[in-house]
Amino acid sequence: MIIVVGENRTFDHVFGTYQPPQGQSVWNLLSRGIVNADGSPGPHFAKAQQYQAQLIGPAKFALAPSNKTPYGTLPAPNTGGAATAASDASPPPFATHDAAAQAEGTALEASDIDQLLTGATGLPAHAEDSRVANYNALLNGPYLLQPPLYDAYMGGPVHRFYQAWQQADCAVAHASRENPSGCLGDLFAWVETTIGAGSNGKPRPTPFSDQTTGEGSNALGFYNVNNGDMPYFTQLARQYAMSDNYHQPVMGGTGANSIMIGAADAYYYTDGNGNAATPPSDQIENPDPLAGTNNWYTQDGYSGGSYSNCSDPGQPGVGPILQYLESLPYDPKANCAPKHYYLLNNYNPGYNGDGTVLDRSKSPFTIPPSPVRTIGDTLLDRHIPWKYYGEGWQSFIKDPTKSVYCNICNPFLYETSIMTNQQVRDTHLADLPDLYADIGAGNLPAVSFVKPGGLLDGHPTSSKFGLYEAFVRKLVDAVKSDPKLWATTAILITTDEGGGYYDSGYVQPIDYFGDGSRIPMIAVSKYSTGGRISHSYSDHASLVKFIERNWGLPPITGRSRDNLPNPIQRGHNPYVPVNAPAIGDLFDLFDFKRESDDHDHDHGRPDSDDDRSGGKGWWPF
């Protein structure tokens, strides 16, 4: 099993106009009539319209503001931090082929290197993005990123925890038969333009313009596979299998979502010795709006806020989410232990690459070493080989400041049991050249996690999705070139989270932390051919469930998400589990042509019609 994780794209952002093979169906912008096949507004464009609200401080954080009004035209998109021009001194993009080849010659085929030379904005940073057609008069809904923007660096939307919850606009009062959780996803542009990626501790004056945060309506942009965008992933989707109901497990960004890949759980602040502790006050989230501002969070983002004690409804921002979960007609647990402050966004892991503890006096935005078990511990206990291959690992060990390595993406880099054992580190944490050496030797471990570096991971500001496609293509081709390896390997391709982009899919609240938007998931193997699309509800914890089912392993802990049942989806909406909260194990993406032995490996998870509710389901519609 090889798990490949890119960055920051939702399902609709990538596959919003995808048309599946005959006999298959897909939920996307095109099938819902929100857009036409050419990307223009469709007959049901209004389904995706965005609203603005007034939440003037001093006030409390509102999960679903009540005083919404629709936008006329959307705020202009913004270039954000994307590069104005190519440069070998501060890529991306690079100015010369030789510099690009030296940096990424191992990760890309030679024919793909020059993708690293193109795509600079030609515009100032944090300026209105005039490359987008009609950027100053965008209709109120998803807009097409026309060619050649597929090959361009773009400003990215906000993707932080409380912002993502607020953008989802979830309330039981919004619920319908099609959307029983009542998450409307209609506040993306408003949250981008009122709070964006963080408040940096400075009060925002009022009145203020839509461009105060330097983001605009970046979240509503999407690509069109019918124009030739995403060519390789479109090929894989047609040739193999894809899910259109796979989700980021946590509202927000890379750190917390990557942690879920390893732990199927969230990490919390400790005293450095494994005991829950209270973080410094300036690192506790407070999304209540400051006085005189519209939704400008009191403490978030650049001011350091990243933890919440979500067991206490009196804590800032916590009460509205807990109340919403309690109002749902099923029984989602918040899964917040008392007096635990959980990491909600992006902080450095507690360890350096060499196993030493990162000095928090020099790097204050660092979570202390974590005692939370991961799937790595389970695999170690059962002597099942595994590795985390992260591009740039060796250079990260030597000098983290000069590496493309994504430290917050490695769920094992946070964990004491992994990082304090040199033999475990040396055996199970590896670099990209090690991956290709192991493939060439036919010596891949049973479970491989693969993470491209920051230049190739598909992040819209520091990478391009075509570069992530090229990275994946080289890996897939290498595996397929060895018939013995190809015969026994499944490659699961996804992103860490949606990057804050809009998505029209159903969101199932599982606990306090999410789920969030749909993201891509493609299964490539000789057992997943034919272009099938799975509608079974899943998220990153499903990767853990796949490992556990395939190798007959128990759940990581008693509280981790891999304890949840597989979804039963037999009602009006095939995307909605009737036994929620539930997440799948991804086995339905494959046809292994053998008799199932689920009862030996499902750890008590329901199958067939056993949905823990008398066979009737719980939805009251």
pLDDT tens per residue, range 244-272: 999 999 999 999 999 999 999 999 999 99
Cα separation of 568 and 580, whole Å?
A: 8
Closest among 12, 30, 450 to 246, alpha carbons compared: 12
pLDDT at 615 over 70: no
Residue 340: alpha-carbon gap to chain centroid: 24
Q: What is the pLDDT of residue 212?
A: 62
Segment 582-595 mean pLDDT:
86
pLDDT at 599 over 60: no
* Among the ranges given (107-111, 283-287, 516-520, 568-572), the one the predictor scored with the smallest mean pLDDT: 568-572
- What band does 227 get if pLDDT is binned at 50, 70 and 90? very high
Q: Are 323 and 301 in contact (CB under 8 A)?
A: no
**239 φ, ψ to 5°?**
-90, -30
- What band does 30 get if pLDDT is binned at 50, 70 and 90? very high
Label residue 146 exposed, middle or buried (CB < 10 Å: 0-12, 13-18, 19+): middle
Q: What is the pLDDT of residue 295?
A: 93
Segment 607-616 mean pLDDT:
30
Give residue-wise pLDDT tens across range 306-346: 999 999 999 999 999 999 999 999 989 999 999 999 999 99
Q: Are 582 and 566 in contact (CB under 8 A)?
A: yes
Q: What is the pLDDT of residue 160?
A: 96
Q: What does the block give as tokens for 481?
A: 């070139």
Q: What does the block give as tokens for 188?
A: 């993306």
Residue 270 vs residue 602, higher pLDDT:
270
Report all structural domains of the chain as residue ranges with CATH numbers, in order of start: 2-84+121-601 (3.40.720.10)
The torsion of the CA quartet 506, 509, 514, 517, rounded to 10 degrees, works out to 0
Segment 366-377 mean pLDDT:
97
Cα separation of 248 and 420, whole Å?
A: 29
Q: What does the block give as tokens for 210?
A: 């839509």
Cα separation of 79 and 157, whole Å?
A: 10
pLDDT at 209 over 80: no
Q: What is the pLDDT of residue 552?
A: 97
- What band does 497 get if pLDDT is binned at 50, 70 and 90? very high
The torsion of the CA quartet 586, 588, 593, 594, rounded to 10 degrees, works out to 70
Taking the CA atoms of 483, 485, 491 and 496 in sequence, report the sign of the dihedral they define.
negative
Q: What is the pLDDT of residue 211?
A: 41
612's torsion region: left (phi>0), alpha (psi -120 to 50) or beta?
A: left
Give residue-wise pLDDT tens across range 75-85: 999 999 999 99
> Position 130: which residue type?
S
Label each residue of 189-214 as H, E or C: HHHHHHCCCCCCCCCCCCCCCCCCCC
Q: Are 460 and 154 in contact (CB under 8 A)?
A: yes
Q: Are 495 and 522 in contact (CB under 8 A)?
A: no
Q: What is the pLDDT of residue 210?
A: 42
Closest among 71, 304, 291, 84 to 192, alpha carbons compared: 71
Give residue-wise pLDDT tens across range 444-482: 999 999 999 999 999 999 999 999 999 999 999 999 999
Q: What is the pLDDT of residue 589?
A: 97
Strand partners, 519: none
* Among the ranges given (181-190, 357-366, 406-415, 492-501), the one the predictor scored with the smallest mean pLDDT: 357-366
Q: What is the pLDDT of residue 123?
A: 97
pLDDT at 420 over 60: yes
Cα separation of 476 and 299, whole Å?
A: 43
pLDDT at 116 over 80: yes
Q: What does the block give as tokens for 478?
A: 């290498």
Cα separation of 19 and 26, whole Å?
A: 8
Q: Are 495 and 9 in contact (CB under 8 A)?
A: yes
